[in-house]
Copies of this chain bind each other. A is one copy, B any other.
Amino acid sequence: MMSKEGMLQQKVEDAKGLFKDRKVTICTIGLGRIGLPTAAMFAAAGANVIGVDINPEVVVNVNEGKSRFVDEPGLDKVIEEPVRLGKLRATTDFSSAIPKADFIIICVPTPVDHTKTPNYSAVISACSTVGKLIKPGSVVIIESTVGPGTVENLILPILESESGLRAGSEFGLASCPERSDPGNIVMNMKTVPRVIGAINQHCLDIVADLYETLLNIKVYKVNDPKTANAVKLTENLFRDVNIALANEFALVFEKLGIDSLEVIKACATKYNFMPHYPGVGVGGPCLPSNSYYLISEGVKAGHIPSLVRMAREINDRMPEHVVSLTSEALNEVGKTIRGSKIAILGVAYKPEIKDVQLTPMEPVCNGLARLGAVLDIYDPMFPGENVFGYTTRRSVAQAVNGADCIVMGTAHKEFLQLDLKLLAQLTESPAAFVDARNIISPKDALASGFSFRAVGRPSTSGSAQA
């Protein structure tokens, strides 16, 4: 009996023995920012890992032992050795990989579409293929972020119907949502406990042992996959809602002539407060999308999470506010957005990340361009490259030279020590400065001759304020 020999049919102690002896083959589907380090770390721990991706460029890159994520410290090193030792191979060929695997880990993207509806097509496609090729007794692990219930109600039926096997007895299924922050993935994967939920206790125990034994990480077992997915969403939505709350306070405090940054620093002296900061909005692959996975399940179940939805709206509207602040700051020096040359410093959605996915600086740039500004973008992660239709400059000086306004869009390290007086000399005086990330001292900006606006800080003109 094939099924007798599968991973799921092992006793927990026996499975653990196999993991300790590194007698385990893992197939990861998707070699992106999560899938690649996941594959590499299991391989570096001694497992046989086959990484599958539909993109041949990605596959070739991995097989050369290289990380294409220049912004993930340490990832290069994690990949190099297992590729050299033959522990990690990548392929575009699902049929050569999946049938060999004891565990198949799904790490494909789950974005939202332009109507903010979760788009599970990559997960559906991956699981259909896995279902066709899975060997009996293997275990499927979903690391992709999905709404609670998606594993039980969407993924499980696909796997069953494509494989002809029964979930629970003939193949295993678990959720182990990734909990890492881009830019810190390797460190996070080594330190942040994993939350795992599975369709039965035996499957849960085996998957938990896999992560504990090979990745040497703490595991937190929960009741079922939907609970694990709820955990992932709850922790990310906590951040999104609290950033929205910081933005809401910022918008009120601007009107009241109060400095939000001063408020937040003071609040942080209380034991039960956790600081979150206002800014141009929220970007990246997770926070701008994750809410909609919960909203979607809430709509279906008859309870729409309205606070979560409103938080999204608030964060989504912040780029418009930054455009308004730019207009105000330029107005103060007698200029309009139309015809102004505006230097954009930073477009990545967060510091030290080479990623403009859903970055709030894209609507800022487009908004300013639509109003007639000429943009010069510089981002240290994208020097002289094309980002959302703009060709970027190669230095701060290049971008700022002759500018009527500077908009600070990302708190990259390079921007934390700017000499504002020198910058002012490069600009077309009188010039404006808009800090959408609150890294510039308003005093310094004023002393350097800029008209100045920042998110959540009183206008420095002081004219309209109480």
Interface residues of A (CB under 8 A from B): 148-149, 152-153, 179, 192-193, 195, 218, 220, 222-223, 226-228, 230-231, 234-235, 237-239, 241-242, 244-245, 248-249, 251-259, 262-267, 269-274, 294, 297-298, 301-303, 305-308, 310-311, 314, 466
Contacts and interface: CB of A to CB of B under 8 A. Distances in A.
Nearest to A306: B310
A263 B230 CA distance: 7
A306 B269 contact: no
Given A152-B466, A195-B266, A238-B245, 4 more contacts: A179-B270, A238-B273, A307-B314, A310-B310
A149 B256 CA distance: 8
Contacts of A308: 245, 248
Contacts of A310: 306-307, 310
Given A230-B256, A242-B242, A314-B307, A274 B274 contact: yes
Given A234-B263, A255-B302, A307-B248, A269 B153 contact: no
A349 B228 CA distance: 32
Given A273-B235, A274-B238, A466-B149, A266 B222 contact: yes
Contact of A270 (B149, B192, B255, B262): B192
A117 to B, nearest CB: 17
A273 B235 CA distance: 6
A198 to B, nearest CB: 14
B266 A192 contact: no
Shortest Cβ-Cβ A-B pairs, 6 listed: A255-B301, A231-B266, A193-B269, A235-B267, A274-B274, A235-B273
Nearest to A302: B255
Nearest to A273: B235
Most buried by B among A248, A294, A302, A308: A248
A351 to B, nearest CB: 15
A149 B257 CA distance: 9
A234 B249 contact: yes
Contacts of A192: 269-271
Given A153-B466, A269-B218, A307 B305 contact: no
Contacts of A303: 251-252, 254-255
